[in-house]
Amino acid sequence: MTTAPVQEPPLTRSDLRDELDRTLKHYATKADVANLKVWIVGLLLVVVLNVVGTAGAIVAAFLAG
């Protein structure tokens, strides 16, 4: 028993345009990357300050004890 292949209608310009719009939504723009860089720098600053503060508190506790 064989099955006949399903024939789909040909793609139209509208179909291609919709597919391109859908595909491009998955890519970041230059503005997205710039915002991400700012966010990463801010997060890195918070992490560094947290580590320095924690190390300072440990050293202070060690010296006081």
- Each residue's pLDDT expressed in tens, for the chain with a length of 65 residues: 667 778 888 889 998 898 888 887 778 889 999 999 999 999 999 999 999 999 999 999 999 97
pLDDT value for 1:
63
Which residues, 6+ apart, have CB-to-CB distance to 36 below 8 Å?
A: 28
pLDDT value for 56:
96
Burial class (CB in 10 A: 0-12, 13-18, 19+), 16: exposed
